[in-house]
Structure 1
Amino acid sequence: MNQSITRDLTRIASDLAKSVDQLCFAEPVTHVYNPLVYAWKAHQEYLSLANGNLEALFLGMNPGPWGMAQTGVPFGEIAAVRDWMQIECPVDKPPNEHEKRPIEGFACQRSEVSGRRLWGLFSEHYVTPDAFFQSQFVVNYCPLVFMEQSARNRTPDKLPANEREPLTAVCDYHLLAVMQLLKPRFLVAVGVYAEACFKRVVQQGNFDATIVRILHPSPASPAANKDWAGKVTKQLVNAGVWKS
């Protein structure tokens, strides 16, 4: 644990939580969850695992309903967070909870496939969390979950421009602050959206790092449903992020 890194990351995340809470979103979005508030304790525990001068910073889009929305950890599939990272904290409820998307915290019985695949790959490659977090870290670009009345998930890129642009400004600022603090050599985008975010922030902040895109682990992607781990390992090795 690097106490200086933990302190600064915590401050940066707290600022992000407050900033996004001040934004407004209209229909078809009817419910917005901010796990940086109701799952803050678990998120703090996660941030305490980070180190500076990283080899790679991995970036996702925003929380999934059965992952970070429940645990406060990016791609935070419950078993991976509880059993591998050894994080398990009380999780509160969001102010406006959708009956079809209850927040049950670590008692949730659902499993987020994307998180299971991503953290599963990391645990296979690094064996121990300490080995992984010594040189790698994972963050989400946007901390919010957006839902429609039907409970359908609405991703940040689908928001109208008048809502998306203020959100982008806040999240870009946060991402650059994280990058400047952790100083990664590689910026690993989990999917196309994350890659665009990295490119924009690198240009704005004149940040020097190599951007790499890997296949998103979502089961909604047909390519991810056949040997995702093998494909992504090859991508990371070919890019020089991991050794073979």
Structure 2
Amino acid sequence: MSVDFKTKQLEFTRYIRDPAINPAPADVKTERMAMYRELIFNNIEGFLAGNFPVIRKILDDRQWFELTQDFFSKHRSKTPYFSEIAEEFLDYLENERANPSDYPFLLELAHYEWVEMALSIAKEDIKPNQQPSESLLKHTVKLSPLAWPLVYQFPVQLISPEYLPLEPPGQPTCLIAYRDQDDEVKFIEINPMTYRLLEVVLEHVQIITEDCLNQVAQESHHPNPDLIITGGLQILKDLAEKNVISVCGTG
């Protein structure tokens, strides 16, 4: 008797994804199907727990199982690589998840946790700055490919089982995530002006430091723009020492 392989495959995978609503293939032993289901689901669940440890910690076992099962059953991943499952989980949270009982910061927290993993495996590399930071004003600078400015409504870096905000604070949280020379991923909380400086650098691909500072000072409408320029220059010097920004040639 001929078997339609595609039909049989769909029957098999539908049960694996959600055995609660899909019958097991009639010609495969129940115990074997349960083993397949457990093996595949546990691999996905374990990978998500390892990449989103704070989310796992703030949810109880039932909430975590329901979340991972919902992702497992509904989301159609575009990649076969385990290292990209975390990004697929983000896509699911942003575009498919619809549970009003979820914490309002869930997507932002997931993105924050994903950043650490994504930066740790990023293939880009950087060379330490050779130019002294004292001469930064007349040099062009660019943002390191291993440095990502981030802005969130919630203070995601503070979220824990003891701190679960239901409303965002009045001011957004600005961070810079970067991978250092020892390949360690670090996060720095920054103020909105620093975020804007990095945003301007990123917008221009590379820009003379003085021009960047003048633009931000002008945008700020501060009564004493020299204060913005002086403060901004020191900030960029500090970030250059961490190789968050790369110092290029003179302008």
Range into which the TM-score falls when normalised by the shorter chain:
under 0.3
TM-score with structure 2 setting the length:
0.22
Higher alpha-carbon Rg? 2
Calculate the TM-score normalised by the size of structure 1.
0.23
> Could you say which structure has the greater relative contact order, defined with CA pairs below 8 angstroms and 6 or more residues apart?
1
